[in-house]
Chain A
Amino acid sequence: MTTMNDFMRKLIVSDDTIAPKEPQYRHIEQEMIDRDRRGFIDKIMSGALGGSLMLVVPMHSELFGELLSEEPTISLDESKKKQYCFIVDVTGCIGCGACCVADRKENNVPEGQYRTWVERYVIDMLGEVYVDSPNGGEDGYSESRDDITNEIKDSYFVPKLCNMCDEPSCVQVCPVGATFKSPDGFVLVDNTHCVACSYCVQACPYGVRFINEQTKTADKCTWCYHRVRKGKEPACVAACPTGARKFGDLNDPESEVAKIYHSKALLSVLKKEQGNDPRLYYIGAGQEVI
């Protein structure tokens, strides 16, 4: 069976630079075989292909190269019991762009493409809303907007990233099942399987997806799944100097996200009418934020 798998992979998957061969990754492969993603091919190949899930994490990332050699500290079963949640506190964001820099490094994102970005909202006295995000806000916002003539009423920064939807439209449309929801609730891309049709890019209401120029496959924020499974925070959360980005387990009453979630704080999600049920929440985002 393995021989057939190898054969098929050679036949169809040309990109062998990303395929994991080292035995130390086997455990992740094994864990992921239980996902019921690939319909009949999985059955045909007795799950031999299922392992490629782990390729969701970009092997070409320098930082990741190190992390990958570590075993995940949280088993998939353990991870499944958690209810991961991301909260962005708009009132805390200072628009420094540290998160974007960290993300680009962590995930080796090509220039000009964005797994996460920070938008600047400016609202004038007449209620006109001005939004910009030069270079995804990565260079910070040292220049103020001089094209707004009216007096300014409000201004804030909105970090954007994958919403890890509970009803992800990207998963729904992917013709080959390369975009999928992991058993512990992360929406991920198997980049050894993606044909790069861009359908998921079209279908994501939040514009967080792109076809990675280097891998030539679909890419997006993973909430740093590779770190999370090692008990670490996503890189952007770790990098944020003000703690505006928060990540944790809602089932853990001691976690900051659980405390906020169960408090009276007004949480909102983006484009609620799309019905995607995001697991990314915002504190203090005005209704003009889309």
Chain B
Amino acid sequence: MDAQVLNYVFPNDMHPHWTLMIVLYTYLTGLVEGAFIVSALSYVFGFKSLQPIARFSLVLAFSWLVVVTVPLIIHLGQPTRAPWMLLTPNYDGPSMMAGFGYIYLIYTLVILFQILFVYRYEMVLFKATSSGIKHHIYSILTLGTNDRSKEGRQIDTKVIWLFGALGIPTASLLHGYVGFIFGGVKAVEWWFTPLMPIVFSFSAAVSGIAGVIVTYIMIKLFTKRVYEIKTETLKTLIKLLWTFFIFAFFFEMLELGVHAYSVTENWHHVKAALEGPMQWSFWTMQIKVLSIIPFFILMWLSLRTIGRIALMFWGVVVSIMLLMQVFFMRWNVVVGGQIMGKSGRGFTEYFPEWFDKEGILVAGLILIAPIVILWLLSKIFPFWESTTEGER
């Protein structure tokens, strides 16, 4: 009997237990990873064309990282007990969620220190020329050093490389881990696959790179400095985006393909869900509109010689599409897995409330928060190359 027709779900599964907040949490961690990769490619792998946005990407990653835990904590029924995750982690299980707090903390420290070293020399200079609060902030952030020597800066470069190199596995771990939180749940057929961490990691890179492109161009646009956008940088970003997207999409399809080809009992249920309640969010949006179309746009942008304006315009368009694609992908994973229920005989429904604690308004605020944080950080850490950068 068709699950849709029968429509029986277990009485406790009438509503998804993981809501929009969990979708956001997976989305934000992904953005962090992607933006970090852009900076790491410059600092660790020496991509010259990415150098102009290396430190911007790093600070951008940090501003997303700051809010990652917000939706998680909002979602907890007992938010005040959140510290137990760190104080009494269950490593016997082991619980995949228990390690997240630690990886998150380590990663935050790695990014933070990398930022401090990237800006160390400049901050020493700023400290001397600024006064008042700014002076105090720079005094703290330079950790008491006033070193302006060439040797000192050479050491900086090495330390930055080291943190970048440490950051790459940590970033992958962070997001791969988020994937495993889902991939390790055998009770939910739609989640239970070892491909989940891989899918999450690649789509994370896609969303982060797309996020860098959009914010980079938008900031330059609003500050009326479009002329500063480097075509070469943009081109590299777009090529990167295309590459990562090919992998992400390939693994997403591989996952689906393995499910489909196995034609197990579970697949019948998954298929009915994909053709039923998830038809629009999965097939129409995630696959057709937001994957296939961007794929061809990216191919065109990457392989042909495109004018600067067109590159910028289509770069933003395709990046926004991919930012949405990844959001839909997260939605379809998190919500989809729960819509399918465990009775194997029906589906539940979910659409977030507007003004709920875990609703759309709160989600909107959480998504806007990093932009505000980024603006605040820009007051302390100038994003773009300055004259001092050239002296390196």
Which residues of chain B from 148 to 182 have any CB-CB distance to chain A below 8 Å in the complex?
Answer: 181
B87 at the interface (CB under 8 A from A): yes
In the complex, what residues of A have CB within 8 A of residue B98's CB? Answer: 175-176
In the complex, what residues of B have CB within 8 A of residue A14's CB? Answer: 78, 80-81
Contacts A197-B97, A290-B344 supplied; 12 other A-B pairs, CB < 8 Å: A38-B88, A39-B88, A39-B91, A40-B88, A130-B8, A172-B93, A172-B94, A177-B89, A202-B338, A205-B186, A205-B187, A274-B187
Cβ A169 vs Cβ B12 within 8 A: no
Q: How far is the CB of B134 from the nearest CB of chain A, in Å?
A: 35
Contact sample, A vs B, 28 pairs, CB 8 Å cutoff: A13-B80, A15-B78, A39-B88, A131-B343, A131-B345, A133-B10, A135-B11, A136-B11, A172-B93, A172-B94, A173-B93, A173-B184, A175-B90, A175-B97, A176-B84, A176-B95, A176-B98, A177-B88, A178-B84, A195-B82, A199-B95, A201-B12, A201-B17, A202-B18, A203-B185, A203-B187, A207-B10, A211-B17
Given A113-B12, A203-B185, A203-B187 in contact, is the A175-B95 Cβ separation under 8 Å? yes
Cβ A195 vs Cβ B85 within 8 A: yes
Which label, helix, strand, loop or mixed, suits the secondary structure of the B interface? loop
A12 at the interface (CB under 8 A from B): yes
A41 at the interface (CB under 8 A from B): yes
In the complex, what residues of A have CB within 8 A of residue B87's CB? Answer: 12, 41
- Encode contact with A along B181-197: 1 for CB under 8 Å, 0 otherwise: 10011111000000000
Q: How far is the CB of A174 from the nearest CB of chain B, in Å?
A: 6
A188 at the interface (CB under 8 A from B): no
In the complex, what residues of B have CB within 8 A of residue A176's CB? Answer: 81, 84-85, 88-90, 95, 98
Cβ A130 vs Cβ B1 within 8 A: yes
Cβ A132 vs Cβ B8 within 8 A: yes
In the complex, what residues of B have CB within 8 A of residue A204's CB? Answer: 187
Cβ B84 vs Cβ A210 within 8 A: no
A193 at the interface (CB under 8 A from B): yes
Which has the most chain B C-beta neighbours within 10 Å: A14, A114, A176, A204? A176
B6 at the interface (CB under 8 A from A): yes
Report, as a range, how many residues of chain A touch the other chain.
35 or more
B342 at the interface (CB under 8 A from A): yes
Given A174-B93, A274-B187 in contact, is the A195-B84 Cβ separation under 8 Å? yes
Given A172-B93, A177-B88, A274-B186 in contact, is the A117-B11 Cβ separation under 8 Å? yes
Cβ B342 vs Cβ A206 within 8 A: yes
Q: How far is the CB of A278 from the nearest CB of chain B, in Å?
A: 13
In the complex, what residues of A have CB within 8 A of residue B89's CB? Answer: 39, 175-177
Cβ A195 vs Cβ B12 within 8 A: no
Which of A12, A130, A205, A208 lies in contact with B12, CB distance below 8 A? Answer: A208
A222 at the interface (CB under 8 A from B): no
Which of B91, B93, B184, B186 lies in contact with A171, CB distance below 8 A? Answer: B93
Chain A: residues with CB nearer than 8 A to chain B?
12-15, 38-41, 113-114, 117, 119, 128-133, 135-136, 160, 169, 171-178, 193-199, 201-211, 216-217, 274-275, 290
Which has the most chain B C-beta neighbours within 10 Å: A114, A197, A274? A197
Cβ A198 vs Cβ B12 within 8 A: no
Which residues of chain B from 11 to 63 have any CB-CB distance to chain A below 8 Å in the complex?
Answer: 11-13, 17-18
Cβ B1 vs Cβ A173 within 8 A: no
Which has the most chain A C-beta neighbours within 10 Å: B11, B90, B98? B11
Cβ A210 vs Cβ B12 within 8 A: yes
The closest CB in chain B to the CB of A13 belongs to B81
The complex places the Cα of A275 from the Cα of B96 at a distance, in Å, of 19
The complex places the Cα of A211 from the Cα of B10 at a distance, in Å, of 15
Q: How far is the CB of A274 from the nearest CB of chain B, in Å?
A: 6
B341 at the interface (CB under 8 A from A): yes
The closest CB in chain B to the CB of A11 belongs to B83
Cβ B97 vs Cβ A12 within 8 A: no
In the complex, what residues of A have CB within 8 A of residue B12's CB? Answer: 113-114, 201, 207-210
